[in-house]
Amino acid sequence: MVNSIALIGGTHGNETSGIQLIRNWQDFGLPTRFDELNVSLNIANQAAIDANVRFIDEDLNRQFTFERLATPNNAKEALLAQTLNQKFGPKGESNTDFVIDIHNTTSAMGATLIILEADEFHISLARYVKHQMPEANILLEDEKPYLEHAYLCTTGKRGVMIEVGGQPQGVLREDVYLLTEAMAEAVLDFCVAFNNGTLATVQLPECEVFRLGENITFPLDEAGKRTAMIHHALQDKDFEPLLPGMPIFRTFDGHDITWQGESTTYPHFINEAAYFKLDVAFATAQRIVL
Amino acid sequence: MVNSIALIGGTHGNETSGIQLIRNWQDFGLPTRFDELNVSLNIANQAAIDANVRFIDEDLNRQFTFERLATPNNAKEALLAQTLNQKFGPKGESNTDFVIDIHNTTSAMGATLIILEADEFHISLARYVKHQMPEANILLEDEKPYLEHAYLCTTGKRGVMIEVGGQPQGVLREDVYLLTEAMAEAVLDFCVAFNNGTLATVQLPECEVFRLGENITFPLDEAGKRTAMIHHALQDKDFEPLLPGMPIFRTFDGHDITWQGESTTYPHFINEAAYFKLDVAFATAQRIVL
């Protein structure tokens, strides 16, 4: 049973669609078909929202490893993480069955559900969401065990993220808002079906999932300065197949740099603003079927 | 004659395309056809670039009124404005013939040239740029005299802004970069033709110009909280005709708010991130011919 569900917006203060969805459901109520669920509506980082920034001191969504939670740190978000871990966790022995954390991205990733495990629950969830919302993308980040992730959603017994784009930081687009709402409702619809035991009666078809590979960084010169930008042929092509030899960067002196991987990959988080300081250009993924 | 030209990027620290164009022209040189021009390449607000924000304390591009320049103010950008006014101005008795300040926007405004006067020089410039670059938009902000604007570019004897979008803050898109470069080159091509006296020999056709009207704000409740978002039918429709009765906002409780103006207008800066704190939803414009 998924008895307690925490729905969270504003983990990053300039990601408006999740913040607005939480506020609207607080103001107008959840759709009545979710009345049987025990859903709490939460805003994670009000200070960052007020400042219209991703975070004040440190990225809140990178605070939730056991090690960081056990290490004294006076950064605003490190202190906030302690509070949130008590509220939604504590991580590892959580009082919350399911944490759903809502984000948006400047990348053209559409409505993406990020799952961190490929167990029976999450396979059913992925299939259910994809069945209800065929335009959705499912991204699987299982390169390490669930509890080793630093994400806020891992404070729950189970946790997922909703990631929708493209939307500039600090801007609310209706199309992104509606996709966010539709995906949040699909996840909650799954919870209703899971609790009612009606999932077993439905034969959910297998679904396409993108399994995270690695981060690809921008080419840099010796001083660490970027020498190229995302190629126009790659821009906005999140989750589309990238074949060896296809252009990925355009250098500032006018040359193309091509994809040198051994096989086709599925890039995502292409040109995401928040990863710009880390010089991350995009992430790769493998296409699998769950 | 346009003897001295200052080309400026990074007036806003998270508007990457102008910053990158300046850096690339510093690294690789201007196209040789501009050798006869006296062009300086400038980065305005390095501290804001380093912090990847629009500004540190105050908007630099709102500092350049005579009043503000004469008023002591310890904000980082107010102090910087004093320095830049000495460098490019001083405003009103400037040593720079032409200041070209490069910006980008999250709004889908394409390549837009913002002119502040409709005198013979700027009419010729607008026609020339539109002729060379038919996809360009010309925006005329002549609601007050040139020297009363607070823009950095008004430190020059003449000043214009290049404004290209849509591009999220802190992100560099190749399409936006190339439009920025093309428009900067078109403006410099005009300067060459103007100086050589070859403009008179060309019969430049009249061109469409959008004359700034007013800012339209989001609907707010009594607490000042927004009650609606930009309607999906308006999003990304910058400079397209908006007729009375067409939807402009979607309220969070699911209703449409329509345009109640008396006549057709041409909205722009639709959902611009930087105007979000001011609750500005978009600006109106009238379509005229120069």
DSSP string, A95-125: S-SEEEEEEEESS--EEEEEES--SHHHHHH
Query: Of the candidates B174, B232, B250, which has its C-beta nearest A229's C-beta?
Result: B174
- Give residue for tokens 């408006």: A16
Q: What is the mean predicted confidence (pLDDT) over B168-176?
A: 97
- Per-residue model confidence (pLDDT) at position B201: 61
- Residue A200 near residue A279 (C-beta atoms within 8 A): no
Query: Of the candidates B174, B253, B276, which has its C-beta nearest A235's C-beta?
Result: B174
Q: What class does CATH assign to B213-289?
A: mainly beta
User: Which residues of chain B make contact with A23, given a CB cutoff of 8 A?
Assistant: 252
Candidates B179, B183, B174; CA nearest to B130 is B183
- Per-residue model confidence (pLDDT) at position B202: 64
Q: CA-to-CA distance for A273 and A167, rounded, in angstroms?
A: 10
A-B Cβ pairs (cutoff 8 Å, strict): 88
Digitized pLDDT (tens) for each residue of chain A, 290 residues in all? 999 999 999 999 999 999 999 999 999 999 999 999 999 999 999 999 999 999 999 999 999 999 999 999 999 999 999 999 999 999 999 999 999 999 999 999 999 999 999 999 999 999 999 999 999 999 999 999 999 999 999 999 999 999 999 999 999 999 999 999 999 999 999 999 999 988 876 678 899 999 999 999 999 999 999 999 999 999 999 999 999 999 999 999 999 999 999 999 999 999 999 988 899 999 999 999 98
User: Which residues of chain B make contact with A27, given a CB cutoff of 8 A?
Assistant: 252-253
Q: Give which of B17, B171, B232 to mutate to test A binding, by max A Cβ within 10 Å.
A: B171
Q: Report DSSP state, residue B218.
A: P
Query: Which residue is closest to A272 within chain B, CA to CA?
Result: B171
Q: Tens digits of per-residue pLDDT, B47-100? A: 999 999 999 999 999 999 999 999 999 999 999 999 999 999 999 999 999 999
Q: CA-to-CA distance for A132 and A205, rounded, in angstroms?
A: 11
Outline where A201-264 has alpha helix (H): none
- Catalytic residue positions of B? 163
Are B271 and A229 within 8 A, CB to CB? no
Q: Distance, in angstroms, between B207 CA and closest chain A CA?
A: 30
- Residue A282 near residue A213 (C-beta atoms within 8 A): no
- Give residue for tokens 């020089």: B121
Query: Of the candidates B168, B229, B273, which has its C-beta nearest A177's C-beta?
Result: B229
User: 10 Å Cβ neighbour count for B134?
Assistant: 8
Domain A4-196 has CATH 3.90.1280.20: no
User: Which residues of chain A make contact with B174, given a CB cutoff of 8 A?
Assistant: 229-232, 235, 250
- Residue B269 near residue B161 (C-beta atoms within 8 A): no
Give the β-pairing of A38-43 and B110-115.
unpaired
Two tokens at A136? 């959705």
Give the β-pairing of B38-43 and B4-9.
parallel
Portions of chain B given CATH number 3.40.630.10: 4-196
Portions of chain A given CATH number 2.20.25.160: 213-289
